[in-house]
Amino acid sequence: MTNTVVTAGSVVTAPAVRLTGLVKRYGSTVAVGGVDLEIATGEVLALLGPNGAGKSTTIDMMLGLIAPDAGQARLFGRSPREAVVAGQVGAMLQTGALRDGLTVGETVAEIAALHRQPGRVPEVLAETGLTELAKRKCAKLSGGERQRVRFAIALISRPELIVLDEPTAGMDVEARREFWASMRAYSDTGRTVVFATHYLEEAQSFADRVVLLRQGRVIADGTVAQIRAAASGRTIQAVVPNATLEELRRLPGVDHAEVREDRVTLRCGDSDTALRTLLDRYRDAHDVEVTAAGLEDAFITLTESDPEENR
């Protein structure tokens, strides 16, 4: 299906997702405070942020499950409802109970019938590793298996966009690996993927682009390399006998310090100055390592800062 917008006689391909000024309040609490976001067709985007950052609320407004208090969501140039009805969108959310009395196969077949895709059931069960569980009642599934059923449901309509909210919650390491292998195969066909996750390594290994949310606002947006650069600095790790946390925090160039027994971790805006001072003051420091900021360091640095400073 071609997703185009006609303007003044010209045809322009619409982005998969365009969020403009999205705002959602619950009483005096601002869950989402003005999110602007455009996601190109075929892009794989990870939404990251601490608990309460507004990830799930943003996803719910993107899918039309809740109405924004201000702003607009468009999917392939359409309203969320129009895109969902057309089968362009599949979603795997944290909420939404499965019917315990149905088998896995019956559950997937029921959704396939709604989308007029009954022939897709065996194919989707195979894609999601559920063929051997097809006759098992949903009541007998583990948390990870339930997530795989939700994934199968999301794929039934052959959606051009799939939206995932904490998709690997409840999965063990092997199940997570298999899930992301399936997702890579899906995204390699040129489809668009948006996923929220607490697992930073998933964003780092799978996403083309990362968007960091804090207090309902976008505070960083770019590739993993760009997010790391935005946080800047390096991390120093060393064994420093008898160093106190307060002393380490006062070292020039240090933005954040942690101490576990004698092992210290220093996140630094100016690692050269911090390292010179550390070695000068603590002559018995040893096992020193200096590394560039990883995605986890960037995540912590950016989400601890004032969101107004990053806008």
Q: Which two tokens stand for residue 257?
A: 């310090």
pLDDT of residue 170: 75
pLDDT of residue 174: 83
pLDDT of residue 143: 83
CA–CA distance, 74 with 64 (Å, rounded to integer): 9
CATH of the domain spanning 14-228: 3.40.50.300
CA–CA distance, 54 with 213 (Å, rounded to integer): 7
Q: How confident is the prediction along the chain (311 residues), in pLDDT tens digits per residue?
A: 445 544 455 445 789 999 999 999 999 999 999 999 999 999 999 998 888 889 999 999 999 999 999 999 999 999 999 999 898 999 998 776 789 999 999 999 999 998 888 899 999 999 888 999 999 999 999 888 888 899 999 999 999 999 999 888 778 888 888 888 888 888 888 899 999 987 778 888 889 999 999 889 998 898 887 777 666 668 899 999 989 999 999 999 998 899 988 899 998 878 889 999 999 999 999 999 998 766 766 777 676 655 444 44
CB neighbours of 132 closer than 8 A, spacing ≥ 6? none
Tell which residue, 19, 21, 27, 31, has the closest CA to residue 70.
21
pLDDT of residue 293: 64
**Is 105:149 a contact under the CB 8 Å cutoff?**
no
CB neighbours of 23 closer than 8 A, spacing ≥ 6? 30, 32, 33, 34, 68, 69, 70, 71
pLDDT of residue 7: 45
Residue 159, Cα to own-chain centre: how many angstroms?
19
pLDDT of residue 5: 47
pLDDT of residue 204: 84
Kindly list the domain boundaries of the chain, sorted by start residue. 14-228, 233-292
Residue indicated by tokens 């709604």: 114
pLDDT of residue 273: 93
pTM of the model: 0.73
pLDDT of residue 305: 53
CATH of the domain spanning 233-292: 3.30.70
- Between the two ends of the chain, the Cα-to-Cα distance in Å is 36
Burial of 106 (0-12, 13-18, 19+ CB in 10 A): middle
